[in-house]
Amino acid sequence: MAEVRFKGRIIVLVVTVLLVFSGIGVRLALLHIRPAEWVLEPIKEGRMYEAKPMGSRGRIVDRNGEILAMDLAAYHVYVDPKYIAEHGDAETVSKYLSLEFRIPQDELGAKLRDTTRQYVRIKKFVSGHQLKRFKRRAFGVDYTPVDLVNGVETNIYLRGVGLEEAPIRNYPKGPLMAHVVGFANQEGNGSAGVEQRMDEYLKGKEGHLVSKKDGRRREMYSERIIDTKPIDGATVMLTLDQQLQYVAEKTVEKTCREFNAKAAWAIVQHVRTGEILAMASFPTYDLNRYAKAPVEWRRNRAISFNYEPGSTMKAAVIASALDNNVVTEDDIFDCEEGYWVYGGKALRDSHPEGEISVAEIIKVSSNIGTAKIALEMGDQMVYDSLRKFNFGNRLDVGIPGEEGGIFYSPKNWSKISVTRIGMGHEISVTALQIVSMMSAIAYNGVQMKPLLIKKVINPDGSILEENMPTVLGRPIQPSAARRMQKLLSAVVMEEDGTGDDARVEGYTVAGKTGTAQKIRPKEEGGGYYSKNFTSSFVGFLPVESPEIAIIVVADDPGTYTDSGRKVGYFGGTVCGPAFKEIAEFAVRYLRIAPEGNRIYVARPDE
């Protein structure tokens, strides 16, 4: 009986074991033949290959296609300490990476000893040229050391070393056009100048790639599920001309150093289209090392520096007086021998004059004569006339940082304000506004919108955006503009004019000097400094048929004599020669004939 029970237990045990193993076998078979989703999911994820490549950032070029900004191939060099510990040689990796990138070997060794990590960046943004000794391969790189082995090059397989694509922004011209071009940061975002304003066009569009990879982590091209290609950014073409820009930059630097100025800047504008052919500012900086430049050096003073213009404003006021028939060129005003009291405040001229005509007032730049003309015009007419020239408004040149100046309405003026505004005080402007005003006089009273961005071009060659010449307004009538052109020509071309240092041999030049005392901050007591000035010269040529207008401004130029007197700071003395230097190159380079007709089509398109 006991024997029967024992046999029965054995049979039950055997059956149970068979059933268990049969169940396991059936389950394994099911998992292999028709596995559950939870089993497949990690396998699929492990074999999945996904990437989101970014299109290259677009180029910035000058009007002739010269490259000013572009992307260069670059890489982050990284290591996989866990993989190196399991399959590689940490000592070899640290030795050769240390030699190549001049990183202490013990520092690299410490990073490789942390085998819990699979990604440690060793060097960021290394250009492709610097990595010429590296060749990517599965699970590592081939490295060719500098030293030969038995007289031949030998490749060393560095397992666990990787190169991650990370394009860098490159500026081939360095500091040239720095304040206009601007820069993009390491994340690829435009952070100044054209790079910032046109960031939406310049940025490449992200692609999307979903595929599978094999056992060696290589993509299986036949298994691609999604393959959306990245799109490169558009090319932005500027109106600036590289050659003219170079001359303008060297000239303002020379002016700044020669006359001991804190800063200097210049603009060259094509009169009939409004296109900016050069926009220079000094101090400047190298765009490839923008992070090392002081913030003040990165400031585009041509559009962002508000200053009282001084006598250059007389051109707008007297032109408006002629336009409104308040005066004629021959009307006589008593300039009080250089000293006049109005509203309890004295006004002086640097050169005493008696009774002189309006034409002579502009030629010798009489403060008193201009103040009396402004008084005849009245507060509202002066205000309305200067507003027509867009003083107090941004001109929207196309890059960040542009200021609109400060120009209050007559309700905020004092009794003497109109006499001071007429001579360029109690109003602040930018150099862009003044050259735009002078261009309007040169273009027979038509003020064109200043242009810096010429067009935006798709990678396929199609035009995404094109800025055509646009009329901002007509601040004065053609007859008044032509009369003013002659008056401004006398400033430069006649012997006793204040702008004779701006003459260009063989050409008739019109222009106006400006020398304004700088405002003293309220915390220093307000009013004006007695020995600190903003000096400028603005003009155009040829007078017969104007092509280009140029402005040069210097911040606080001049030197002190042993007696403490400041010399060498007047606009004609400091900025007149700089105007001449830029203009002499421009007329040759742009092929402008003395009478204003071009020999053949000049570079500014029409």
Domains of the chain by residue range? 47-71+171-238, 74-102+119-166, 242-287+296-589
- pLDDT confidence of residue 272: 95
Indicate the residue type of 115. T
For 520-541, the pLDDT digits (tens) are: 888 888 888 989 999 999 999 9
Q: Is 337 left (phi over 0), alpha (psi -120 to 50) or beta?
A: left
For 219-242, the pLDDT digits (tens) are: 565 666 676 777 889 999 999 999
| Average pLDDT value for the chain | 89
For 352-398, the pLDDT digits (tens) are: 999 999 999 999 999 999 999 999 999 999 999 999 999 999 999 99
CB neighbour list of residue 10: distance below 8 Å, 6 or more residues apart: none
- Copy the structure tokens of residue 166: 């990370």
| pTM of the shown model | 0.85
Percent of the chain with pLDDT over 70: 89
Can you tell me the distance from the alpha carbon of 314 to that of 511, in angstroms, rounded to the nearest whole number?
11
Candidates 378, 368, 379; CA nearest to 412 is 379
Q: Are 407 and 427 in contact (CB under 8 A)?
A: yes
Can you tell me the distance from the alpha carbon of 21 to that of 30, in angstroms, rounded to the nearest whole number?
14
Which stretch of DSSP H or E encloses residue 344? none
- pLDDT confidence of residue 153: 61
Strands (E), 301-449: 332-334, 339-342, 345-348, 355-357, 447-448
SS3 label, residue 402 = coil
C-alpha distances in angstroms, 274 versus 88, 458, 598? 64, 25, 18
- pLDDT confidence of residue 599: 45
Neighbours of 132 (CB within 10 A): 9
- pLDDT confidence of residue 600: 40
**β-pairing verdict for 67-72 and 168-170:** antiparallel
For 430-441, the pLDDT digits (tens) are: 999 999 999 999
- Cα within 13 Å of Cα(82), Cβ side: 4
Can you tell me the distance from the alpha carbon of 195 to that of 233, in angstroms, rounded to the nearest whole number?
12
Can you tell me the distance from the alpha carbon of 248 to that of 265, in angstroms, rounded to the nearest whole number?
8
Architecture of domain 242-287+296-589: 3-Layer(aba) Sandwich (3.40)
SS3 label, residue 334 = strand
SS3 label, residue 236 = strand
pLDDT band at residue 137, thresholds of 50, 70 and 90? confident
pLDDT band at residue 418, thresholds of 50, 70 and 90? very high
- pLDDT confidence of residue 46: 57
pLDDT band at residue 216, thresholds of 50, 70 and 90? low
The fourth-level CATH superfamily of domain 47-71+171-238 is: Penicillin-binding protein 2a (Domain 2) (3.90.1310.10)
Flag whether pLDDT at 598 surpasses 80. no
Which stretch of DSSP H or E encloses residue 358? helix 358-364
SS (H, E, C) 426-487: CCEECHHHHHHHHHHHHCCCCEECCECEEEEECCCCCEEEECCCCEEECCCCHHHHHHHHHH
Q: Are 452 and 278 in contact (CB under 8 A)?
A: no
Can you tell me the distance from the alpha carbon of 108 to that of 144, in angstroms, rounded to the nearest whole number?
19
- pLDDT confidence of residue 606: 44
- pLDDT confidence of residue 602: 45
Candidates 366, 368, 388; CA nearest to 320 is 388
pLDDT band at residue 293, thresholds of 50, 70 and 90? very high
- pLDDT confidence of residue 168: 86
Residue owning tokens 């030629």: 363
φ, ψ for residue 83, nearest 5 deg? -70, -40
**Residues 212, 214, 216, 219, CA torsion sign:** negative
Candidates 175, 432, 176; CA nearest to 304 is 432
